[in-house]
Amino acid sequence: MAGYDCHRGSVFYLAVHPKFQGLGYGQKLMGHIEHVLTDIGCCKLNIVVRTTNEAVLGFYDNLTYTTDDVVSLGKRLIPDA
Protein backbone atom coordinates (compact mmCIF):
# COMPACT_ATOMS: atom_id res chain seq x y z
CA MET A 1 0.00 0.00 0.00
CA ALA A 2 1.47 3.32 -1.08
CA GLY A 3 0.23 6.86 -0.72
CA TYR A 4 0.99 10.50 -1.46
CA ASP A 5 -0.15 13.51 0.58
CA CYS A 6 1.16 16.17 -1.87
CA HIS A 7 4.26 16.52 0.30
CA ARG A 8 5.79 13.05 0.68
CA GLY A 9 5.09 9.60 -0.60
CA SER A 10 4.81 6.64 1.74
CA VAL A 11 4.91 2.89 1.47
CA PHE A 12 3.01 1.32 4.33
CA TYR A 13 2.92 -2.32 3.30
CA LEU A 14 4.76 -4.22 0.60
CA ALA A 15 4.54 -7.96 0.72
CA VAL A 16 5.49 -10.85 -1.51
CA HIS A 17 4.42 -14.36 -0.58
CA PRO A 18 7.45 -16.21 0.86
CA LYS A 19 7.28 -18.77 -1.95
CA PHE A 20 7.90 -15.97 -4.48
CA GLN A 21 10.43 -13.87 -2.56
CA GLY A 22 13.82 -13.42 -4.18
CA LEU A 23 12.37 -13.51 -7.70
CA GLY A 24 12.33 -9.74 -8.25
CA TYR A 25 8.62 -9.10 -7.63
CA GLY A 26 9.27 -6.76 -4.70
CA GLN A 27 11.81 -4.79 -6.73
CA LYS A 28 9.35 -4.47 -9.60
CA LEU A 29 6.58 -3.32 -7.26
CA MET A 30 8.84 -0.70 -5.68
CA GLY A 31 10.01 0.43 -9.11
CA HIS A 32 6.39 0.91 -10.18
CA ILE A 33 5.55 2.83 -7.00
CA GLU A 34 8.59 5.08 -7.46
CA HIS A 35 7.68 5.72 -11.12
CA VAL A 36 4.04 6.59 -10.37
CA LEU A 37 4.95 8.87 -7.46
CA THR A 38 7.68 10.62 -9.46
CA ASP A 39 5.24 11.21 -12.32
CA ILE A 40 2.83 13.04 -9.99
CA GLY A 41 5.57 15.23 -8.52
CA CYS A 42 6.54 13.36 -5.37
CA CYS A 43 10.11 14.29 -4.41
CA LYS A 44 10.65 11.88 -1.47
CA LEU A 45 9.39 8.47 -0.45
CA ASN A 46 9.18 7.40 3.21
CA ILE A 47 9.09 3.78 4.30
CA VAL A 48 8.59 2.52 7.85
CA VAL A 49 10.25 -0.79 8.78
CA ARG A 50 10.71 -2.24 12.25
CA THR A 51 14.36 -2.18 13.30
CA THR A 52 14.17 -5.92 14.05
CA ASN A 53 13.10 -6.79 10.49
CA GLU A 54 16.62 -7.28 9.14
CA ALA A 55 15.54 -9.08 5.96
CA VAL A 56 13.30 -6.21 4.89
CA LEU A 57 15.91 -3.62 5.85
CA GLY A 58 18.36 -5.50 3.64
CA PHE A 59 15.83 -5.50 0.79
CA TYR A 60 15.49 -1.70 0.93
CA ASP A 61 19.25 -1.27 1.36
CA ASN A 62 19.70 -3.15 -1.92
CA LEU A 63 17.29 -0.65 -3.51
CA THR A 64 19.57 2.20 -2.27
CA TYR A 65 17.23 3.43 0.48
CA THR A 66 19.00 4.92 3.48
CA THR A 67 18.03 5.49 7.11
CA ASP A 68 16.61 8.94 7.83
CA ASP A 69 17.59 10.70 11.04
CA VAL A 70 14.07 10.89 12.47
CA VAL A 71 12.09 9.57 15.41
CA SER A 72 8.89 7.67 14.76
CA LEU A 73 6.27 8.29 17.43
CA GLY A 74 3.22 6.18 18.08
CA LYS A 75 0.37 5.85 20.50
CA ARG A 76 -1.78 2.74 20.87
CA LEU A 77 -5.43 3.85 20.85
CA ILE A 78 -6.91 0.35 21.09
CA PRO A 79 -4.95 -2.26 23.06
CA ASP A 80 -3.74 -5.38 21.27
CA ALA A 81 -5.97 -8.34 21.95
Q: How many domains is the chain partitioned into structurally?
A: 1
**Which residues constitute the domain of residue 34?**
2-62
Sign of the dihedral through C-alpha 51, 1, 11, 20? positive
Residue 56 has pLDDT above 90, yes or no: yes
Whether the full predicted model's pTM is greater than 0.85, yes or no, is no
pLDDT band at 81 (very low <50, low <70, confident <90, very high): confident
pLDDT tens digits, one per residue of 30-41: 999 999 999 999
Residues in a beta bridge with 11: 2, 47
* Sequence-separated (6 or more) residues with CB below 8 Å from residue 8: 42, 43, 44, 45, 46
Supply the pLDDT for residue 80: 86
User: Is 36 part of a structural domain of the chain?
Assistant: yes
pLDDT at residue 24 greater than cutoff 90? yes
CATH classification at residue 32: 3.40.630.30
Confidence at residue 1, expressed as pLDDT on a 0 to 100 scale: 87
